[in-house]
Structure 1
Amino acid sequence: MTEILATGFGLPEGPVYDEIEDRVLVTDASGGGVWAVQLDTGEKSCVVEHRKGIGGLALHADGGYIISGRNLAWKRGDETFTLLDQAFGSPTARYNDITTSPEGGVYAGSIDYDLQTGKVHHLGDLHYVSPTGPSRVVASGIELTNGLGVSPDGSTLYHVDTGPRVLYRYDILDADGSLSERQVVIHLPDGTPDGIAIAASGHVLVAVGCHGAPGFISVVAPNGTEDDRWIMPYEHVTSLCIGGRDGRSVFVTMGGTAKADERLGVVARIDQQVEGLPRPRTRVRPV
């Protein structure tokens, strides 16, 4: 059974579980803002207003949120600190999914893609924002950057490129965020792979949207085997996270569209139990 926790989103994305407040934070890429869904009451509230195009979200150790979009920024109360300027100097460029490293850094993928025409203007990069130094590009040649996540032992970065419908892995070479050459983990040709979550077992849970068929979560082992596939009640499945007081609940964003005037997206808890791990809070600061 799927439990709908909150409705009325345009394009819900980037869910993160906040273990201190027992809530799921989610962005609305088309409707705008960052929203908190309180798990004990179901209350939905806006914690970052207005901004649209946010595909990724992380919690900061000193309060506030790292959010993607036209730039990468730290929002804390009324303060905004820019961490990465708009990529490529292009008006259609933005940062999409992000994740945190065990050292408190942030990996962020850049994308320059026109939603109206489907044209890719520039291949994207993976950026690493260090908690102790400047940011830098650690990988390039990405068509449509999406889900990012770090393995439980901190040695591997997983990354979805939606263009070729591939989940990649990189070895994390150093605490400065350096990466090896990418390796294919699995091709996912049956739909559009998007966001990911990492289970304590090392499995990668990949949200896959479909057109004309139900979307699904692909449960991928580190060796590239698809061990399971969970069918969702919506075609458009964008992302997920693991959390809850027991650390085993799976929260999924789905049902949304890129149309600003539609509010069909939901945040749901699905009937699967998977042990997760808390995502490190970042400690990055503007240089």
Structure 2
Amino acid sequence: MLTINAPREHQPTLWAEDFIFLEGPRWHNDRLWVSDVFDKKLFTLHPDGSRTLECEVPHRPSGIGFLRDGSAIVASMQDRKIMRLLDAELSVHADFSELASGDLNDMLVDDEGRIYVGNFGYDFHGGAPKALTNVHMVEPDGAIRVAASGLEFPNGMAIISGGRTLVVAETWACRLTAFNRAPDGSLSKPRLFADLGNRQPDGICADTADGIWVASYNTGEVIRVLEGGDVTDRALCGRHVSACQLGGSDGRTLFCCAYVGTDEDLEAGKRLGAIFTVSVDTPGCSVAPKDVSHGSGEG
């Protein structure tokens, strides 16, 4: 069970606002990449908070990653495809339209360029009953296979323990689940990493001490959790928190994507999405693969 052990409290600072609903933040090449799901846009934000529109994603963007050539990829939720961004144009990198049982969601790219991506598992927006689903893996050569099955709304993912463990947030189950990870990226031996009580984990990220920062959507918190459930740190960022990412010049800035309005405000499309920052002690792990592009840039 989740251990309550007087976590260190942090005061977040508003960094950027005037979005609708943000997901998938990734720190890459001194910028924060982020998806505005319902505005259907992919942005980058510079350290001063100024933003650049990278592209529009008509079927709603979510998870973000980077290939070994440096190009950006983004999960296109509704049409269940991973899109590659190159020269301001999107092209299909991987097609899950016949494989995923729900909208694509968050994703993670490992050091070798393998992509892990989850999906809702059912027609969430259409009111279908909840169903278990898979996390798929896309090999660098484009082959797709099931990496893990029987997951309840798999969401954010993180790799820890020197690459030997992958942790996935199961939102409706209020838990983090860990898998052993083989050198070829295969996952096995699922186990409970942390029971989060009533907290619904959305996006997550890892630090270099194998702590997992969790965006708790329903409680508006970002918490740092260790394996076994100890909560070491906490920040309250708004009504809902959808994702978090460690970055900045020294990796010690936690970027928190939040929605500060009500559910009714979100349904109405009110631009109450924001990014808060928290200064932390332990830097984040890299979320980009080893670059073999010899300086080709990220697209």
TM-score calculated relative to the size of structure 2: 0.84
Give the fraction of aligned pairs with identical amino acids, expressed as a percent.
26
Correspondent of 2:152 among 98, 118, 143: 143
Match of residue 44 from structure 1: 51
Match of residue 5 from structure 2: none
Match of residue 74 from structure 1: 84
Q: Which residues of structure 2 form unaligned runs of 5+?
A: 1-10, 292-299
Q: Note the 1:173-188 alignment, pairs <5 A.
A: 173-175=182-184, 177-188=185-196
**Residue 5 (str. 1) matches residue 10 (str. 2):** no
Distance of aligned partners of 1:122 and 1:9 in 2 relative to their CA distance in 1, 3 Å threshold: same
Q: Which residues of structure 1 form unaligned runs of 5+?
A: none
- Looking at structure 2, the residues matched to 145 and 75 of structure 1 have their Cα atoms a distance apart, in angstroms, of 24
- The RMSD of aligned alpha carbons is 2.3
Residues 121, 134 of structure 2: 8 Å contact kept: no
Match of residue 106 from structure 2: 97
Match of residue 58 from structure 1: 65
- Deviating 4+ runs (over 4 angstroms): 87-90
- Looking at structure 2, the residues matched to 57 and 67 of structure 1 have their Cα atoms a distance apart, in angstroms, of 4
Specify the SS of the correspondent of 1:207: strand
Specify the SS of the correspondent of 2:182: coil
- Looking at structure 2, the residues matched to 51 and 63 of structure 1 have their Cα atoms a distance apart, in angstroms, of 23
Specify the SS of the correspondent of 1:263: coil
**Residue 217 (str. 1) matches residue 225 (str. 2):** no
- Looking at structure 2, the residues matched to 196 and 253 of structure 1 have their Cα atoms a distance apart, in angstroms, of 11
Deviation at 1:218, TM superposition (A): 2.3
Residues 107, 115 of structure 2: 8 Å contact kept: yes
Residues 250, 274 of structure 1: 8 Å contact kept: no
Specify the SS of the correspondent of 1:218: strand
Count how many residue pairs are aligned between Structure 1 and Structure 2.
274
**Residue 28 (str. 1) matches residue 36 (str. 2):** yes
Q: Note the 1:154-233 alignment, pairs <5 A.
A: 154-175=163-184, 177-210=185-218, 214-222=219-227, 224-233=228-237
1:208-267 CA distance string (max 9 Å, x none): 022xxx521221113x13232413130201111111111211111011665362211111
Deviates more, 1:197-206 or 1:81-90: 81-90
What amino acid is aligned across from residue 46 of structure 2 in structure 1?
A: Q
TM-score calculated relative to the size of structure 1: 0.87
Distance of aligned partners of 1:42 and 1:117 in 2 relative to their CA distance in 1, 3 Å threshold: same
Deviation at 1:82, TM superposition (A): 3.0
Deviation at 1:202, TM superposition (A): 0.7
Distance of aligned partners of 1:97 and 1:89 in 2 relative to their CA distance in 1, 3 Å threshold: closer
- Looking at structure 2, the residues matched to 89 and 181 of structure 1 have their Cα atoms a distance apart, in angstroms, of 22
What amino acid is aligned across from residue 83 of structure 2 in structure 1?
A: A
Specify the SS of the correspondent of 1:153: helix
Match of residue 116 from structure 2: 107
Deviation at 1:23, TM superposition (A): 1.3
- Looking at structure 1, the residues matched to 191 and 70 of structure 2 have their Cα atoms a distance apart, in angstroms, of 35
Distance of aligned partners of 1:217 and 1:262 in 2 relative to their CA distance in 1, 3 Å threshold: same
Distance of aligned partners of 1:118 and 1:235 in 2 relative to their CA distance in 1, 3 Å threshold: farther
Specify the SS of the correspondent of 1:250: strand
What amino acid is aligned across from residue 239 of structure 1 in structure 2?
A: A
**Residue 126 (str. 1) matches residue 135 (str. 2):** yes
Correspondent of 1:254 among 258, 282, 286: 258
